[in-house]
Amino acid sequence: MDLSIVIPLFNEDESLPELAAWIERVVQENNYSYEIIMVDDGSTDDSWKVIEGLRAVNPNIKGIKFQRNYGKSAALNEGFKAAQGDVIITMDADMQDSPDEIPGLRKMIVEDGFDMVSGWKKKRYDNTLTKNIPSKFFNAAARKSSGIKLHDFNCGLKAYRKKVVKSIEVYGEMHRYIPILAKWAGFRKIGEKVVEHRPRKFGVTKFGWERFVNGFLDLFSIMFVGKFGKRPMHFFGLWGSVVFFTGFVIWAYLFIAKFAFQKYNMTDRPLFYIGVISLVIGVQMFLAGFLGELIARNSSERNTYLIEEKTGL
Ligand code: UDP
Ligand code: MG
């Protein structure tokens, strides 16, 4: 199968028929063998009925319905598990992404050798104040911390080589950072393509202002987990040692100063409290590191790695 198109959706019943018809037109023009996987993320409108109706007419359309709303990441993750195509395209259900971009994205994977290609909504049809400006900050932070040169990390329209979607797990709200997940999994050829963006035709956006708060917190998590997730002691041990040692030096100085040079109450010196706090925090960080190691050791993923090739085995 050439192509799997994965569409996460939450209350998008109005858009689906039009979206499906447009995708069908594009894939037929290009003669792709394909499937469209619509993941209904617990919609409370008629989305699921619409999906069943579409499937009755076109068996290439497949559906998964969640028991409740779990979020876009969960929907994508489930779609990725089910996908069978050599190339997987994800797109939003609200018709903000254009299916006409599919052949171009697919070509970059198949012919130009990219592992993953992210869309870039260069000209964007969203509210400037609440989305476009915060999104610039957010992308700059993601770019800087991950080293991946993308302008638009969170674009819903993306293309992947099959191997990529089978090797990453999109959880929480990590759909904003799939390029980073792919990079951690060892896929280096991550490209970008300017894509057409359109105003939302039906319905309303499903993400409010919290997206930016959560987005930033998730960025910290992903950078930390990516770097130290499997060796937490290397982070906590280092900083715990630095802080503990600082406290130790302060105390050594206070003791020497007290007995050798002058007589004073140690508790009269502000430095005394800084020393106490440093010792306590240093020990705490060490303990956090040990606990982290215990958790990492018990994790079923402690030894998951991807083997690219083997020879003689
Ligand atoms: N979506 C989803 N689950 C959610 C929220 C959103 O599957 O909990 C889908 C939504 O139906 C749409 C896509 O994710 O297909 C992008 O959402 P939206 O268009 O609301 O985001 P925006 O374009 O405003 O960033
Ligand atoms: Mg949208």
Q: What is the CATH number of the domain that holds 165?
A: 3.90.550.10
94 touches ligand 1 (CB under 6 Å): yes
Same domain assignment for residues 64 and 17: yes
Whether 14 is in a domain gets the answer yes
What does residue 254 show for φ and ψ, rounded to 5 degrees?
-60, -40
Same domain assignment for residues 193 and 240: no
- pTM of the full structure: 0.88
Same domain assignment for residues 269 and 127: no
CA 128 to ligand 2 center in whole angstroms: 14
Q: Domain boundary at 228, 255, 281, which?
A: 228
Whether 304 is in a domain gets the answer no
Tokens representing residue 294 in the block: 């215990």
Locate the ligand 1 atom nearest the alpha carbon of residue 154 and give its number. Answer: 25
CA 162 to ligand 2 center in whole angstroms: 25
Quote the CA–CA distance of 239 and 234 in Å, as a whole number. 9
User: What pLDDT, on the 0 to 100 scale, is given for residue 266?
Assistant: 82
> Can you give the residue range of the structural domain that contains 137?
3-228
- Average pLDDT along the chain, 313 residues, taken 10 residues at a time: 97 96 97 97 97 97 97 97 97 96 97 97 82 86 93 96 95 94 94 95 87 88 88 96 97 89 82 96 97 92 82 92
User: What pLDDT, on the 0 to 100 scale, is given for residue 306?
Assistant: 80
Whether 40 is in a domain gets the answer yes
What distances in angstroms separate CA 101 from CA 114, 117, 244, one per listed residue? Answer: 16, 12, 56
Q: Are 40 and 8 in contact (CB under 8 A)?
A: no
121 touches ligand 1 (CB under 6 Å): no
User: What pLDDT, on the 0 to 100 scale, is given for residue 193?
Assistant: 97
72 touches ligand 1 (CB under 6 Å): yes
Whether 115 is in a domain gets the answer yes
Same domain assignment for residues 176 and 251: no
Same domain assignment for residues 204 and 250: no
What's the CA dihedral at 174, 116, 79, 186 to 10 degrees?
Answer: -60
Q: How many domains does the chain have?
A: 2
Whether 305 is in a domain gets the answer no
User: What pLDDT, on the 0 to 100 scale, is given for residue 290?
Assistant: 96
Locate the ligand 1 atom nearest the alpha carbon of residue 91 and give its number. Answer: 15
Whether 309 is in a domain gets the answer no
Same domain assignment for residues 72 and 201: yes
Edge-to-edge order in the sheet of strand 87-90:
61-65, 34-40, 3-9, 87-90, 158-161, 116-120, 190-194
Same domain assignment for residues 218 and 253: no
Same domain assignment for residues 257 and 221: no
Residue type, 284: Q
**Which residue among 5, 10, 89 has the greatest number of ligand 1 atoms within 8 angstroms of its CB, and so is best to mutate?**
10
User: What pLDDT, on the 0 to 100 scale, is given for residue 300?
Assistant: 83
Name the residue among 16, 17, 91, 9 with its Cα closest to residue 43.
9
What does residue 122 show for φ and ψ, rounded to 5 degrees?
-65, -45
HSE of 155 in the Cβ direction (CA atoms, 13 Å)? 31
Quote the CA–CA distance of 52 and 207 in Å, as a whole number. 26
User: What pLDDT, on the 0 to 100 scale, is given for residue 207?
Assistant: 87
Q: Are 8 and 158 in contact (CB under 8 A)?
A: no
Whether 55 is in a domain gets the answer yes
Same domain assignment for residues 210 and 241: no
User: What pLDDT, on the 0 to 100 scale, is given for residue 264?
Assistant: 79
CA 48 to ligand 2 center in whole angstroms: 19
Q: Domain boundary at 228, 246, 274, which?
A: 228
Locate the ligand 1 atom nearest the alpha carbon of residue 204 and give its number. Answer: 20
Is 168 exposed, middle or buried (CB count within 10 Å of its CB: 0-12, 13-18, 19+)? buried
Ligand nearest to the CA of 155: 1
Same domain assignment for residues 213 and 67: yes
Q: Domain boundary at 228, 244, 274, which?
A: 228
Closest C-alpha to ligand 1, atom 9: 9
Same domain assignment for residues 61 and 191: yes
Q: Which residues, other chains included, contact 279 with Cβ-Cβ below 8 Å and sequence gap of 6+?
A: 244, 247, 248, 251
Residues 153-166: tens digit of each pLDDT: 999 999 999 999 99
User: What pLDDT, on the 0 to 100 scale, is given for residue 245?
Assistant: 97
69 touches ligand 1 (CB under 6 Å): yes
Same domain assignment for residues 57 and 112: yes
CA 217 to ligand 2 center in whole angstroms: 22
User: What pLDDT, on the 0 to 100 scale, is given for residue 299?
Assistant: 86
**Which residue among 92, 124, 196 has the greatest number of ligand 1 atoms within 8 angstroms of its CB, and so is best to mutate?**
92
